[in-house]
């Protein structure tokens, strides 16, 4: 069946790029259609009917008219705003990191439902959450996204000899894809990063529970920073691209 000339979907605004005098290219993530690119004509003019609806993190109901090269956005309506994210710098930088990861790990077409649902859950939790919870929610999102994409780090057994890890501090190796037991440390190439036993416990806890419990669970700042550092290392190595908003996050501390 031919694609309809006009179609509508519910999606998150992930990214935009200014074009020409007052236009923008916008990247969305839709549950059914995956990543969708749209052209928003005249959106930067204050009197445009699209203005304000197509801001980052908004969940919108958007209609497209099929174009020759790119589909043109004809109508847009906000389903859920994310206005509270902009009130805090640390929440905002976490949200930017989250959307950047969604862009890198999702694709066009169907099959992105789990990534969409995770994004929906995390942005909802971040919008209106306490500043101190931002890093926990980021870690929850990153770890679950890695599981969905099949790239999760191994932290239950040694990636080299497959032995069960003892309750002690270990080292993590991005090239190997997980934690190395003390016996295998010498055989490794690439840089090793120390990971405390508490950080490993936090990783296991985040994997086993839901977002609400992660938000309520008190995790000391140094431990959650450690977990975020390892997850960032893992992501940067496996998607072979530097997540730029993660460095911005450090700047704001």
Query: Interface residues with other proteins (CB under 8 A)?
Result: 15, 20, 46-47, 49, 51-53, 55-57, 78, 81, 83, 86, 88-89, 92-93, 96, 100, 244-245, 247-248, 251-252
Least gap, CB of 54 to other proteins (angstroms): 9
Q: Report angle CA 175, 180, 184 to the nearest 5 degrees.
A: 105
Evaluate whether 21 touches 35 at the Cβ level (below 8 Å). no
Q: 47 vs 186, which CB is nearer to other proteins? A: 47
Q: 10 vs 173, which CB is nearer to other proteins? A: 10
Evaluate whether 54 touches 20 at the Cβ level (below 8 Å). no
Q: 65 vs 78, which CB is nearer to other proteins? A: 78
Q: 82 vs 158, which CB is nearer to other proteins? A: 82
Q: 94 vs 158, which CB is nearer to other proteins? A: 94
Least gap, CB of 245 to other proteins (angstroms): 4
Least gap, CB of 45 to other proteins (angstroms): 9
Least gap, CB of 9 to other proteins (angstroms): 19
Using the 8-state DSSP alphabet, how is residue 1 labeled? -
- SS3 state at 175: coil
Using the 8-state DSSP alphabet, how is residue 87 labeled? G
Least gap, CB of 166 to other proteins (angstroms): 39
Q: Residue 229: name the closest of 210, 203, 209, 206 by CA.
A: 203
Cross-strand pairs, 19: 23
- Contacts of residue 244, Cβ cutoff 8 Å, sequence gap at least 6: 100
Q: Residue 26: name the closest of 5, 1, 51, 46 by CA.
A: 51
């Amino acid at each position: 069946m031919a694609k309809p000339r006009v179609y509508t979907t519910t999606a998150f605004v992930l990214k935009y790029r200014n074009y020409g005098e007052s236009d923008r290219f916008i990247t969305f993530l839709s549950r059914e259609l995956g990543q969708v690119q749209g052209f928003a004509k005249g959106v930067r003019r204050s009197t445009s009917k699209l203005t304000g609806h197509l801001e980052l993190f908004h969940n919108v109901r958007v209609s497209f008219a099929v174009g020759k090269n790119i589909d043109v956005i004809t109508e847009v309506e906000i389903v859920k705003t994310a206005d509270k994210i902009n009130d805090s710098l640390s929440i905002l930088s976490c949200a930017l990191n989250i959307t950047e990861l969604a862009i890198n790990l999702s694709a066009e077409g169907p099959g992105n439902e789990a990534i969409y649902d995770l994004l929906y859950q995390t942005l909802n939790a971040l919008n209106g959450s306490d500043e101190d919870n931002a890093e926990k929610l980021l870690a929850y999102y990153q770890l679950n996204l890695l599981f969905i994409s099949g790239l999760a780090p191994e932290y239950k057994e040694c990636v080299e000899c497959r032995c069960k890890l003892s309750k002690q501090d270990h080292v993590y190796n991005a090239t190997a894809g997980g934690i190395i037991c003390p016996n295998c440390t010498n055989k490794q190439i690439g840089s090793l990063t120390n990971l405390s036993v508490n950080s490993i416990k936090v990783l296991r806890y985040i994997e086993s529970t839901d977002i609400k419990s992660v938000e309520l669970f008190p995790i000391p700042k140094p431990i959650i920073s450690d977990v975020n550092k390892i997850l960032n290392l893992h992501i940067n190595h496996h998607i072979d691209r530097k997540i730029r908003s993660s460095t911005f996050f450090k700047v704001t501390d």
